[in-house]
Structure 1
Amino acid sequence: MRESATQNVAVFGAGVFGRNHLRVYRTLQESDFPVRLAAIVESDTSRTASLEQEWGLPVYGSIDAFLSDCASGNLQIDAASVCVPTIGHFQAASALLANGIDVLVEKPIAASLEEAGQLTALANQHRRVLQIGHLERFNPAVAAVRGLLNGPMFFEAHRLSVFSPRSLDVDVVLDLMIHDLDIVLTFAQSPVSHVHAVGLPILSPKVDIANVRVEFESGCVANFTASRVSTERVRKLRFFQPHQYVSIDYARQDLLVINVEARATANSGVVGNSSGLSMQKPQVTQGEPLRFEIESFLECVRSRRRPVVSGEDGREALKAALQINAAIDEHARRARLDRYTA
Structure 2
Amino acid sequence: MAGSSPLRVAVVGAGAFGRNHLRVYRELQDAGKDVELVAVVDQNAAVAAEAVAKFGVPAFDSVAACLSAVGKLDAASVCVPTVHHATAAEPLLAAGVDLLVEKPLAADLTDADRILELARTHGRIVQAGHLERFNPAVTAARRHLHRPMFFEAHRLSVFTPRSLDVDVVLDLMIHDLDIVLSLVASPVREVRAVGLPVLSNKVDIANVRLEFENGCVANFTASRVSTERVRKLRFFQPHQYLSLDFARQDLLMIDVAAAAGMDPAQLAALAAMAQSAGQHPSAGLSLSKVAVEQGEPLRLEIESFLTAVRERSVPVVSGEDGRAALALALEINRAIADHAERTGL
TM-score over 0.5 for the pair: yes
1:290 aligns with 2:302: no
The answer to whether the 8 A contact 1:177-1:225 is kept is: yes
- The one-letter amino acid of 2:293's match is T
Structure number with greater Rg is: 1
SS at match of 2:76: strand
* Counterpart mapping for 1:9-28 below 5 A: 9-28=9-28
Equivalent position of 1:29 in the other structure: 29
Instruction: Measure the CA separation in 1 of the matches of 2:75 and 2:189.
Output: 37
Instruction: Measure the CA separation in 2 of the matches of 1:163 and 1:198.
Output: 19
The structure 1 residue matched to 2:92, chosen from 78, 92, 96, is: 96
Equivalent position of 1:51 in the other structure: 51
Identity of aligned residues (%): 65
- The one-letter amino acid of 1:310's match is S
- Mean Cα displacement is larger for which, 148-157 or 120-129? 120-129
Could you tell me how far 1:4 is from its partner in structure 2? 4.1
Instruction: Measure the CA separation in 2 of the matches of 1:188 and 1:48.
Output: 41
SS at match of 2:257: strand
* Counterpart mapping for 1:205-284 below 5 A: 205-262=201-258, 276-284=284-292
Q: Check 1:100–1:158 CA distance in 2 against 1; reply closer, same or farther (3 A cut).
A: same
Equivalent position of 1:169 in the other structure: 165
Equivalent position of 1:335 in the other structure: 343
The answer to whether the 8 A contact 1:195-1:215 is kept is: yes
The structure 1 residue matched to 2:197, chosen from 190, 198, 201, is: 201
- Mean Cα displacement is larger for which, 224-233 or 122-131? 122-131
Instruction: Measure the CA separation in 1 of the matches of 2:2 and 2:28.
Output: 19
Q: Which runs of 5+ in 1 are unaligned?
A: 264-273
- The one-letter amino acid of 1:171's match is D
Could you tell me how far 1:43 is from its partner in structure 2? 1.0
Could you tell me how far 1:62 is from its partner in structure 2? 1.2
Equivalent position of 1:60 in the other structure: 60
Equivalent position of 2:266 in the other structure: none
Cα root mean square deviation, aligned: 1.6
For residues 183-238 of structure 1, give each alpha carbon's deviation from its aligned partner in whole angstroms, at most 9, with x where no partner exists: 00001111111111111111111100001101111111100000001111000000
SS at match of 1:148: coil
SS at match of 1:324: helix
Q: Which runs of 5+ in 2 are unaligned?
A: 260-281
Normalised TM-score (structure 2): 0.91
Normalised TM-score (structure 1): 0.92
- The one-letter amino acid of 2:138's match is V
The answer to whether the 8 A contact 2:190-2:211 is kept is: yes
Equivalent position of 2:272 in the other structure: none
For residues 299-340 of structure 1, give each alpha carbon's deviation from its aligned partner in whole angstroms, at most 9, with x where no partner exists: 11101010000011000000110010000000111111xx8x
